[in-house]
């Protein structure tokens, strides 16, 4: 579920936690910026205006989450939660983990690996934080994803701009002006 169906105004409790695998994070968390990037090959012509852009890759998103704990129960839950974020290839195969947070669902991040995990840091007044950096687990598709745009898509989101809804009154006035100009020019 994305932010459209679980918005932070009506559902703030869903934005205060992240689900890793089947486990909800203890305390509260602050999801940092994860960016969904695209890589483009830009081909410029000599002595021309503009360029051709070709989509060549969509790299995995990267970002961080800060977990905040302040009760003994949070620390007991963190002990279990943390185990899903740690890797020891000598004991078991390294695997990505499912992740859910509404802001990550918006950009399609649903599986991650842990890039780094920090120690518990005392922030004062009984609040403790742990910073964890993640990389999206996003294996490449079997087929090529290279593509060059063939044009632009219109949008109705810009009032009066490109792709705006037609204005029947203005269209009728423009038609009438064209007819009057034609009459004024004579036969």
Q: How far apart are CA 126 and CA 74, in angstroms?
A: 12
pLDDT confidence of residue 150: 73
Quick check: is 180 in a domain? no
Quick check: is 156 in a domain? no
Q: pLDDT tens, 8-66?
A: 999 999 999 999 999 999 999 999 999 999 999 999 888 888 888 998 888 999 999 99
CATH number at residue 51: 2.40.30
| Summary mean pLDDT of the chain | 86
Averaged pLDDT, 95-114: 94
CA atoms within 13 A on the CB side of 29: 27
CB atoms within 10 A of CB 153: 6
The kind and range of the H/E element at 129 are strand 127-136
**Greater confidence, 8 or 151?**
8
Total domains present in the chain: 1
Are 23 and 80 in contact, with CB atoms under 8 Å apart?
yes
Which residues span the domain enclosing 42? 12-151
Secondary structure of residue 168 in the 3-state scheme: helix
């Amino acid at each position: 579920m994305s932010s459209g169906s679980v918005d932070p105004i009506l559902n703030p409790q869903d934005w205060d936690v992240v689900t890793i695998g089947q486990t909800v994070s203890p305390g509260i968390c602050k999801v940092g910026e994860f960016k969904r990037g695209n890589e483009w090959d830009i081909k410029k012509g000599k002595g021309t205006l503009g360029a051709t852009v070709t989509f060549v890759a969509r790299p995995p998103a990267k970002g961080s989450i800060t977990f905040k704990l302040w009760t003994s129960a949070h620390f007991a839950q963190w002990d279990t939660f943390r185990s899903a974020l740690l890797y020891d290839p000598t004991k078991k195969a390294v695997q990505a983990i499912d992740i859910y947070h509404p802001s990550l669902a918006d950009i399609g991040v649903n599986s991650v690996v842990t890039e780094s995990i920090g120690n518990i840091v005392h922030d004062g007044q009984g609040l403790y934080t742990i910073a964890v950096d993640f990389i999206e687990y996003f294996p490449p598709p079997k087929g090529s994803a290279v593509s060059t745009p063939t044009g632009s898509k219109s949008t109705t989101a810009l009032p009066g701009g490109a792709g705006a809804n037609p204005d029947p009154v203005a269209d009728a006035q423009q038609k009438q002006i064209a007819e009057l100009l034609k009459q004024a020019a004579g036969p």
